[in-house]
Amino acid sequence: GLKFLPLTVDWFERAKPCTALTISEANSTSRMRVLEESREAFESRALTAMYEFIRGIPMEVMKSRHGLAVDTACDKKIARIEEENKIASEQRDERYREALEQRD
């Protein structure tokens, strides 16, 4: 989770120059600035995004832990069912052998 935080910070650092959008019409020399964001507004958005990123990490950890707990529980249940099936199969084979011995 947190190993991606430096990538997020780096992404925002590289995005700083993109806080203004200028449009120029085809075959024309006129340009029109349609968006200009202040440095404070950009930094506020960056901090908010990083806060949301970090705040969401515990939920991802909990989802992972819950998934592992479910997997472990399922693995244990599967192992128990397989053991029960093995015992039932051995008992069935034993009864079958006993029935064959009684015929002879």
The pLDDT tens digits along the chain (104 residues) read 567 778 877 877 887 776 666 777 777 677 766 667 777 888 888 888 888 877 777 666 666 666 666 667 777 888 888 888 899 999 998 988 888 888 86
Q: What is the pLDDT of residue 34?
A: 62
Q: With H, G, I as helix, E, B as strand and everything else as coil, classify residue 13.
A: helix
Q: What is the pLDDT of residue 81?
A: 86
Q: What is the pLDDT of residue 90?
A: 92
65, two tokens: 């832990």
